[in-house]
Amino acid sequence: MLAFIGRRLLVAIPTILLISVFVFLLQQLLPGDPILAMAGEERDPATIEFLREKYGLNDPLPVQYFKWIGGVIQGDLGISLRTNQPVSELLLQKLPVTIQLAVMALIFAVVIGVPAGILSAVKKGTVVDYAANVVALSGLSIPNFWLGIMLILLVSVKWGLLPASGYTPPGEDLVRSITTMLMPAFVLGTALAATLMRHTRSAMLGVLKSDYVRTARAKGLYERRVILRHAFRNALVPIVTLTALLFGELVAGAVLTEQIFTIPGFGKLVVDAVFNRDYAVVQGIVLCTAVGFIVMNLLADAAYFALNPRLRKS
Amino acid sequence: MAHVSDPATADSVLDAKPENRVWKKFRSHRSAMLGVFLVAFFVIIAVAAPILPIQDPTATSWSAVRAAPSAAHPFGTDEIGRDVLSRLIWGAQASLMAGVVSVAIALCFGVPLGIAAGYFGGWTDTVISRCTEALLAAPFLILAIALAAFLGPSLGNAMIAIGLSATPIFIRLTRGQVIAVAAEDYVESAHAIGLPTRKILTRYIFPNVLPPVLVQATLTVATAIIAEASLSFLGLGQQPPAPSWGSMLNTAKNFLNQAPWMALWPGIAIFLVVLGFNLLGDGLRDALDPRET
């Protein structure tokens, strides 16, 4: 198992390096010159030159890249041109907020998606199955930022049940923190629930046809026990790995969700950075999410390994 | 599948042709037909927008600011008195165009690169596949946001950003498909009789790679439309005053209390057109799947 993970790690390193090259090259696409913006109205040549030297913009590209990646490896993602804060510090500040949102969204997604998938596989071809599929496809087709706006309109504006925006750290007031996050997490969770439901359904359909399920039924076990103990346990393997791969959707969805509910997380940070032309922050975020995705992939592989006894032996 | 229901076309000779079989299967797929209807509806209103009897989508009216739906403005007006219905209809152009153009960009880069990686193997494959993997690691929308941000906000740049972000999906799909097809006997015999590579690629590989790519392209149009709406919602797509569903929602969220209709319709429009493409893609996949015939 360790050897397997080690091998996967080795393969991941060149991928991460390649991503870093892409991310670095992004700034070459930039139309405007952030230094000109920083130099202010007078655009004093000496100031511009000083700033260029300070941020290393006079070096040739490969030198700039190696300087940058050397820093990145040591956790230095550069300095935000806007706030003058280190980018890594900014990211660490915002990360817990987005993680709270993502975890709550994932809970919604699993609680809705997995049972719906099991039910629709067990009742394949019935009204229940059909309805679950329609709901799932709708969930995939609804833009989640619109769903967020509609929920704000209903739940906050019309009924006044939940706050429409903002964020309270859980350490400050746990109950308030959870209630404020409830609606955003639900919005982010629905699209994932739809994907999860489809995966669960197809995994369950595959397992329900297998011999051991037939054997379990032939032994006269209760149907409930057959489905949960024998079938679902085996269907769990693909479901868990696929859940880990939903990470990308989760992060991308968080950008929009945080924008609608004005939650000061990762997604809000990237959007603000984009409008402020704070490209060190944008680069840091793209790099972080890509590395996060690769780590989730590795975890998914590890989970696949751990959950599948046949693989463990070989 | 019951062919008997339609005796006029259930001609055995016609049935033998795979295109006819696929078409028949597709046509009997109820949800796919709903998809066709939805997509066709939006294409028609988008194309017909200039000749429809609607108001100018950018004409402002200070006497009808945020007016509730009425006979004059069936879907109400927005914060500067523009007709929501006509903006919605013109917005269909931006959405559909973004969906189709960005997928076309992804296909133009993705399919040739995928064929090259799958067919030539070796170093070509290693380089292309490694780059694809790296690009796939960055979430689709984050990549599109970053690209749109660095390229500058406009509908054209949003399409480029979405297209480039979707390219790796097509590279990977095409590559896998080519590897499977290249191992088939008929390709090997084409090699054996000494056909040039170009001929093998265009005559044998490409047509067999096409069906799954077509399915994926249809589903990606749906994703691309949502992505364009998301970018426009963030202010990185279509720029005002030109109408786009995403930017309409962006403004609408500031007037939820006073003018909820501004937020309702653009969302429903996005939902329906995306649902249409998703149903169409699912239907195509079922119809083109040879295992289920």
pLDDT tens column, B149-198: 778 888 998 999 999 999 999 999 999 999 988 888 888 888 889 889 88
Residue B2 pLDDT class (50, 70, 90 cuts): very low
B residues 86..145 contacting A (CB < 8 A): 130-131, 133-135, 137-143, 145
Residues facing residue A79 across a β-bridge:
A86
Reading the block at residue A263, the tokens are 């939650």
Sign of CA dihedral A214, A215, A216, A220: positive
Single out the residue of A65, A26, A246, A14 nearest to residue B132, CA to CA. Answer: A14
A84 part of contact set with chain B, CB < 8 Å: no
Which residues of chain B have a CB within 8 Å of the CB of A8?
A: none
- Position B14 scores a pLDDT of 52
Q: Which domains does chain A have, with CATH numbers?
A: 2-73 (no CATH), 93-308 (1.10.3720.10)
A110 CB neighbour count, 10 Å cutoff: 17
Mutation to test the B interface, candidates A15, A82, A149, A165, most B Cβ within 10 Å:
A149
Reading the block at residue A208, the tokens are 């329900």
Distance (Å, whole) CA B254 – CA B136? 35
Single out the residue of B283, B115, B293 nearest to residue B214, CA to CA. Answer: B283
Query: Are residues B228 and B162 in contact, defined by beta-carbon separation less than 8 angstroms?
Result: yes
Give this complex's ipTM.
0.82
CA distances from B54 to B48, B51, B69, B70 (A): 11, 8, 15, 14
Query: Are residues B182 and B118 in contact, defined by beta-carbon separation less than 8 angstroms?
Result: yes
Q: Which residue's structure tokens are 């915002």?
A: A94
DSSP reduced 3-state for A86: strand
Which residues of chain B have a CB within 8 Å of the CB of A30?
A: 150
Report CB contact under 8 Å: B137, A290: yes
Mutation to test the A interface, candidates B142, B231, B239, B244, most A Cβ within 10 Å:
B142
- Position A32 scores a pLDDT of 57
Domain B28-42+79-288 maps to which CATH number in 1.10.730.10, 3.40.50.2300, 3.40.50.300, 1.10.3720.10?
1.10.3720.10
Tens of pLDDT, residues B263-285? 899 999 999 999 999 999 988 98
Q: Cβ contacts of residue A125 below 8 Å, gap of 6+?
A: none
Residues facing residue B83 across a β-bridge:
B77
Q: What are phi and psi of A244, to 5 degrees?
A: -60, -35
- Position B3 scores a pLDDT of 45
Which residues of chain B have a CB within 8 Å of the CB of A285?
A: 142, 146
Size of the A and B interface in Cβ pairs below 8 Å: 136
- Position A252 scores a pLDDT of 82
Distance (Å, whole) CA B274 – CA B230? 13
Distance (Å, whole) CA B148 – CA A29? 10
- Position A31 scores a pLDDT of 58
Task: Please give, rounded to a whole number of angstroms, the shortest distance from the CA of A53 to a CA of chain B.
Answer: 22
Query: Are residues B33 and B23 in contact, defined by beta-carbon separation less than 8 angstroms?
Result: no
The predicted model scores a pTM of 0.86
Report CB contact under 8 Å: A255, B249: no
Mutation to test the A interface, candidates B234, B277, B282, most A Cβ within 10 Å:
B234
Task: Please give, rounded to a whole number of angstroms, the shortest distance from the CA of B47 to a CA of chain A.
Answer: 23
Residues facing residue A86 across a β-bridge:
A79
Reading the block at residue B171, the tokens are 């590279």
Nearest CA in chain B to A17: B134
- Position A39 scores a pLDDT of 65
Tens of pLDDT, residues B109-121? 999 999 999 999 8
B residues 31..70 contacting A (CB < 8 A): none
Average pLDDT over residues B136-149: 82
A274 part of contact set with chain B, CB < 8 Å: yes
Q: Cβ contacts of residue B267 below 8 Å, gap of 6+?
A: A142, A143, A146, A147, A149, A150, B245, B249
Higher pLDDT pick, B268 / B28: B268
Tens of pLDDT, residues B238-257? 888 888 999 899 888 888 88
Residue B292 clears pLDDT 60, i.e. is over it: no
Tens of pLDDT, residues B60-106? 778 777 878 887 788 888 888 788 898 999 999 999 999 999 999 99
CA–centroid distance for A22 within its chain: 20
Reading the block at residue B46, the tokens are 């988008």
Verify cis geometry, omega within 30 degrees of 0, for the bond prior to B211: no
Report CB contact under 8 Å: A282, B131: no
Residue B12 clears pLDDT 70, i.e. is over it: no
Report CB contact under 8 Å: B134, A256: no
Query: Are residues B229 and B270 in contact, defined by beta-carbon separation less than 8 angstroms?
Result: yes
Report CB contact under 8 Å: B139, A146: no
Angle at which helix B84-120 crosses helix B245-252, to 10 degrees, equals 130
* Cross-chain CB nearest to A152 (options B135, B152, B256): B256
Residue B10 pLDDT class (50, 70, 90 cuts): very low
Distance (Å, whole) CA A204 – CA A206? 5
A residues 92..131 contacting B (CB < 8 A): none
Query: Are residues B246 and B232 in contact, defined by beta-carbon separation less than 8 angstroms?
Result: yes
Q: Cβ contacts of residue B208 below 8 Å, gap of 6+?
A: B177, B181, B184
- Position A241 scores a pLDDT of 77
Write the DSSP symbol of residue A167: -
Which residues of chain A have a CB within 8 Å of the CB of B149?
A: 274, 282
Query: Are residues A281 and A80 in contact, defined by beta-carbon separation less than 8 angstroms?
Result: yes
Specify the length of chain B in residues: 293
* Cross-chain CB nearest to A150 (options B141, B267, B275): B267
B residues 198..227 contacting A (CB < 8 A): 222, 226
Report CB contact under 8 Å: B146, A259: no
DSSP reduced 3-state for A159: coil
Nearest CA in chain B to A276: B149
Q: What are phi and psi of B77, to 5 degrees?
A: -125, 165
- Position A312 scores a pLDDT of 62
Q: What is the mean pLDDT of each run of 10 residues along chain A (314 residues)?
A: 78 85 78 64 76 75 85 84 86 90 92 92 88 88 90 87 83 86 92 89 86 85 82 82 79 88 88 83 87 84 75 59
- Position A197 scores a pLDDT of 92
A286 part of contact set with chain B, CB < 8 Å: yes
- The secondary structure of A91-157 as a DSSP string is HHHHHHHHHHHHHHHHHHHHHHHHHHHHHHHHTTTSHHHHHHHHHHHHHHHS-HHHHHHHHIIIIII
Report CB contact under 8 Å: B151, A29: yes
3-class secondary structure for chain B? CCCCCCCCCCCHHHHHCHHHHHHHHHHCCHHHHHHHHHHHHHHHHHHHHHHCCCCCCCCCCHHHCCCCCCCCCCCCECCCCCEHHHHHHHHHHHHHHHHHHHHHHHHHHHHHHHHHHHHHCHHHHHHHHHHHHHHHHCCHHHHHHHHHHHHCCCHHHHHHHHHHHHHHHHHHHHHHHHHHHHCCHHHHHHHHCCCCHHHHHHHHHHHHHHHHHHHHHHHHHHHHHHHHHHHHHCCCCCCCCCCCHHHHHHHHHHHCCCCCHHHHHHHHHHHHHHHHHHHHHHHHHHHHCHHHC
Report CB contact under 8 Å: A279, B150: yes
